[in-house]
């Protein structure tokens, strides 16, 4: 072979070696409850924000199967999307769960068709709710595809409260005043979730505390990557506060559920009103416990002090946060604490229960005050200290909050998620 021929052959071999790999194809399952159960929560926000970055990548082709009504409609997200409803309407816990079961069955059938058409390399489940997990696992099992799941939190509300050894999860739910049937369903959902998580090929946990909870509950032989969460600080900083007449001393954002501490929050505010008669609290969120919360507000004679606001868009949420003085978050468990990050980005000091995820992610922030779980008196006194602080101290806390929130970026989180997903090709 002549030198020129050898050079041509080597060049061809080099070109073949440098040929770019085809994009990683992913089928993402994005089930989310309707607004009557919860507005867009942390899990949903996280998926939507990271999806924006995924869709811009040339090395990733992602198809999304989403439950209706869509949270992606009208967004700048360009990925291929399919919308699927459960085909069921009803009210209350049982109707909600039945609708989720029907959606899971329909989604599994739809997924199999999408896999046969798009030939993805892996199934990507956007969060660890059972409809997502079940449909993802069934599709993965039938078509022998790797299954990856983002785990936001494992619902163990008693894990942060001093309870006797051997205290059952069912008793835990009963202790925060859920009914027998709901407590049974939630207990079943907890163990079913763990069962299917043990069947996955990989897990992306949003925090080290979430990863630890998984391992402590037997999910130890699965690859677990710790990624994180973030907040769009620039967006929040460009939102204007509400009119001066619509200001609030305290604000809470989250799902209206007992494990989120909203009923503890009313007890806290009763203590505050004893000292500050006109103190105003805004509770932002929706959920199946909303009617119970309204009754409790009336029974506590707090109608003139506590105000409820349901689902609102990101702009309105940012405006309401910036029109408040302190964020109060007595949640019994969290996977990361996105609501806290949004409050910090809005310049608010935060008073919250001292639970592992919040301690891990925000414990070093000077404007985050963590108090013992279920300690209503200490929570109220901490809030009062902040409300009574000087203008200079309030400005210092606000600066500390905004500065701390800047470290959490969606682009970095999306890159870490993608790094984990890329291992499904290996």
Report, as an integer, the average pLDDT of 138-161.
Answer: 84
Q: Is the pLDDT of residue 11 over 60?
A: no
Q: Are both 112 and 170 inside the same structural domain? A: yes
- Look up the pTM and report it: 0.89
Report, as an integer, the average pLDDT of 171-200.
Answer: 89
Q: In whole angstroms, what is the distance from residue 171 CA to residue 180 CA?
A: 9
Q: Are both 259 and 388 inside the same structural domain? A: yes
Q: In whole angstroms, what is the distance from residue 19 CA to residue 375 CA?
A: 61
How far apart, in Å, are the Cα atoms of 365 and each of 46, 341, 416? 22, 11, 24
The answer to whether residue 154 sits within a structural domain is yes
**Which residue carries 């291992």 as its tokens?**
423
Q: In whole angstroms, what is the distance from residue 5 CA to residue 30 CA?
A: 54
Predicted pLDDT at 90? 65
pLDDT tens profile 405-415: 999 999 999 99
Q: What are the tokens at 313?
A: 């868009």
pLDDT tens profile 321-376: 999 999 999 999 899 999 999 999 999 999 999 999 999 999 999 999 999 999 99
The answer to whether residue 207 sits within a structural domain is yes
Decide if 121 contacts 26 (C-beta within 8 A): yes
Q: Are both 108 and 185 inside the same structural domain? A: yes
Q: Are both 260 and 217 inside the same structural domain? A: no
Q: What are the tokens at 72?
A: 């992606």
Report, as an integer, the average pLDDT of 215-242.
Answer: 90
**Which residue carries 């309870």 as its tokens?**
163
Q: Are both 176 and 323 inside the same structural domain? A: no
Q: Rounded to a whole number, what is the distance in angstroms from the first to the last CA of the chain?
A: 37
The answer to whether residue 17 sits within a structural domain is no
- Which residues constitute the domain of residue 169? 24-230+410-425
Q: In whole angstroms, what is the distance from residue 10 CA to residue 17 CA?
A: 10
pLDDT tens profile 358-368: 999 999 999 99
Q: Are both 203 and 261 inside the same structural domain? A: no
Please state which of the ranges 6-10, 157-161, 392-396 shows the lowest mean pLDDT: 6-10
Q: Are both 222 and 241 inside the same structural domain? A: no
CATH number, domain of 32, equals: 3.40.50.2000
pLDDT tens profile 268-302: 999 999 999 999 999 999 888 899 999 999 999 99
77 φ, ψ (degrees, to nearest 5): -75, 125
Q: Are both 289 and 149 inside the same structural domain? A: no
Question: Could you give the 3-state DSSP secondary structure of residue 9?
Answer: helix
Q: In whole angstroms, what is the distance from residue 21 CA to residue 12 CA?
A: 17
Residues whose CB falls within 8 Å of the CB of residue 170, separated by 6 or more in sequence, listed in order: 183, 184, 187
Could you give the number of structural domains in the chain? 2
Q: Are both 179 and 218 inside the same structural domain? A: yes
Q: Sign of the CA dihedral 167, 171, 173, 176?
A: negative
Q: Are both 212 and 144 inside the same structural domain? A: yes
Q: In whole angstroms, what is the distance from residue 414 CA to residue 323 CA?
A: 31
Q: In whole angstroms, what is the distance from residue 355 CA to residue 361 CA?
A: 10
Q: Are both 206 and 120 inside the same structural domain? A: yes
**Which residue carries 């089928």 as its tokens?**
27
Q: Are both 223 and 281 inside the same structural domain? A: no
């Amino acid at each position: 072979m002549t030198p020129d021929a050898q050079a041509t052959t080597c060049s061809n071999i080099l070109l073949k070696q440098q040929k770019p790999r085809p994009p990683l194809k992913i089928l993402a399952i994005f089930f989310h409850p309707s607004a009557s159960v919860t507005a867009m929560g942390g899990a949903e926000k996280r998926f939507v924000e990271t999806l924006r970055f995924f869709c811009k990548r040339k090395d990733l082709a992602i198809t999304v199967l989403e439950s209706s009504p869509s949270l992606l409609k009208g967004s700048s997200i360009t990925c291929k999307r399919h919308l699927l409803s459960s085909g069921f309407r009803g009210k209350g816990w049982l109707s909600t769960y039945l609708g989720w079961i029907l959606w899971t069955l329909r989604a599994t059938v739809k997924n199999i068709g999408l896999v046969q058409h798009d030939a993805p390399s892996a199934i990507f489940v956007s969060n660890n709710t059972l409809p997502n997990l079940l449909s993802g696992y069934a599709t993965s099992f039938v078509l022998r595809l790797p299954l990856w799941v983002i785990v936001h939190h494992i619902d163990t509300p008693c894990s942060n409260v001093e309870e006797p050894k051997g205290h059952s999860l069912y008793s835990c739910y009963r202790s925060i005043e859920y009914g027998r049937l709901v407590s049974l369903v939630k207990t079943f959902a907890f163990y079913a979730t763990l069962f299917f998580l043990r069947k996955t090929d990989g897990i992306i946990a949003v925090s080290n505390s979430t990863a630890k909870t998984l391992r402590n509950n037997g999910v130890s032989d699965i690859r677990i990557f710790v990624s994180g969460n973030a907040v769009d600080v620039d967006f929040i900083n460009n939102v204007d506060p509400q009119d001066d007449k619509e200001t609030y001393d305290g604000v809470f954002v989250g799902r209206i559920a007992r494990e989120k501490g909203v009923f503890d929050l009313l007890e806290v505010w009763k203590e505050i009103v004893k000292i500050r008669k006109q103190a105003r609290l805004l509770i932002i969120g929706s959920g199946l416990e909303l009617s119970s919360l309204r009754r409790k507000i009336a029974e506590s004679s707090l109608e003139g002090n506590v105000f409820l606001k349901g689902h609102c868009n990101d702009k309105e949420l940012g405006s309401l946060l910036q029109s408040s003085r302190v964020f109060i978050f007595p949640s019994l468990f969290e996977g990361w604490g996105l609501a806290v990050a949004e409050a910090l980005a809005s310049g608010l000091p935060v008073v919250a229960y001292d639970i592992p995820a919040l301690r891990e992610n925000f414990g070093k922030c000077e404007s985050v005050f963590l108090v013992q779980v279920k300690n209503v008196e200490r929570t109220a006194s901490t809030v009062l200290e902040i409300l009574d602080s000087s203008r200079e101290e309030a400005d210092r806390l606000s600066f500390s909050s905004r500065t701390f929130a800047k470290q959490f970026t969606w682009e970095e989180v999306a890159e870490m998620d993608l790094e984990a997903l890329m291992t499904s090709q290996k």
